[in-house]
Amino acid sequence: MRVSSAKEDLEKYGYVRDDDTFELPEDRPRGKMVYFAGVWIVTLEWVIHGGFSFPFLLLPSLWLIFFYEKMSIIDMVLIMLVHELYFMLIGFLTWTTTYELSYMCEDILKKVLEGVADADLSDGDVAWRKIAYKANLLRSRYEPFYSGSQCRRVFVREVVKPVEANSYKICYRHKEGRQGYGDFCVDKSNKILVQRAVNNYNKNPRVSETHAEDNGAEIPTPSSVLTVRNLLCFFAVIEVIVQMICVGLWYDPEIRRKAHQ
């Protein structure tokens, strides 16, 4: 409660710390994985991954068929739970490699637009760090932006490109974890704010340079994450192979007799 209240006070009075004291997730030890975990939980991605992981529970069911007479109900439930968490972890690590922040909530989108419209973007990453920091103050459970460069890339993708295409189809998410979307520019004052922000952005002489810098992943995934994900997938494949062999052997009457002795 105190953290949330402090953030509200900072936002209310428009207080912004000195440039070198901004703290974004990218500045913290293990900040990248903590950031991903926060987004994964708050936006309910874990529910989606849990649902997709559920069919993989057919794999441990093969073990249960093979050893069911020697296992208790608790043992069976634990095996199923471990496998569910195992495949959810694979899903989480895979999700981090493709994550992009899209369809910001309305208050976050508005805060970013106000920041871009009023900022001196010639300061480069410092200006975008300020904008990201102020937008992050709107949330207490997690931080929407990992870094200033991510904030810039999201702004370009979600705002600048639609405006350049003369569509002004800028959507916002009604709430984290929900699929309902709204058209931000339906409100005339919002459309004016968008125009101000894009005009100020285009005045920046480094626009072409920043576009060139935006190639690649929005938040580069550590190589260690990819290594762990690949190892987990490898072990899952090995388990499937072993289980298929065991199921094939199960039809041998002699093996079945020995298994139940």
For the chain (261 residues), the mean pLDDT of every run of 10, in chain order, is 45 46 83 87 82 70 60 73 84 86 86 91 85 89 88 90 87 71 86 91 69 65 84 84 67 59 58
pLDDT of residue 255: 59
Estimate to the nearest angstrom the gap between the alpha carbon of 47 and the chain centroid. Answer: 13
Query: Could you tell me if residue 206 is inside a domain?
Result: yes
pLDDT of residue 259: 55
Same domain, 151 and 207: yes
Residue 15 token pair: 């207080």
Same domain, 112 and 208: yes
The total of structural domains in the chain comes to 2
Backbone angles phi, psi at 142, to 5 degrees: -160, 175
Same domain, 208 and 107: yes
The domain of 252 spans: 44-99+222-259
Query: Could you tell me if residue 139 is inside a domain?
Result: yes
pLDDT of residue 8: 47
Same domain, 113 and 52: no
Closest CA to 139 of 171, 185, 104, 172: 104
Query: Could you tell me if residue 203 is inside a domain?
Result: yes
Beta-carbon contacts of 106 under 8 Å, excluding residues fewer than 6 positions away, are: 172, 173, 174, 182, 184
Same domain, 91 and 174: no
Backbone angles phi, psi at 171, to 5 degrees: -100, 150
Same domain, 64 and 152: no
pLDDT of residue 131: 92
The Cα 246–Cα 234 span in angstroms is: 19
Residue 5 token pair: 């209240």
Query: Could you tell me if residue 246 is inside a domain?
Result: yes
pLDDT of residue 110: 92
Same domain, 177 and 231: no
Same domain, 110 and 206: yes
Query: Could you tell me if residue 4 is inside a domain?
Result: no
Query: Could you tell me if residue 81 is inside a domain?
Result: yes
Same domain, 144 and 198: yes
Task: Say how many Å lie between the first and final Cα of the chain, rounded.
Answer: 60
pLDDT of residue 220: 79
Residue 235 token pair: 């072990």
Same domain, 205 and 139: yes
Residue 4 token pair: 């949330």
pLDDT of residue 19: 47
Query: Could you tell me if residue 36 is inside a domain?
Result: no
The Cα 252–Cα 259 span in angstroms is: 11
Q: Is 24 helix (H, G, I), strand (E, B) or coil?
A: coil
Same domain, 163 and 72: no
Same domain, 118 and 86: no
pLDDT of residue 205: 66
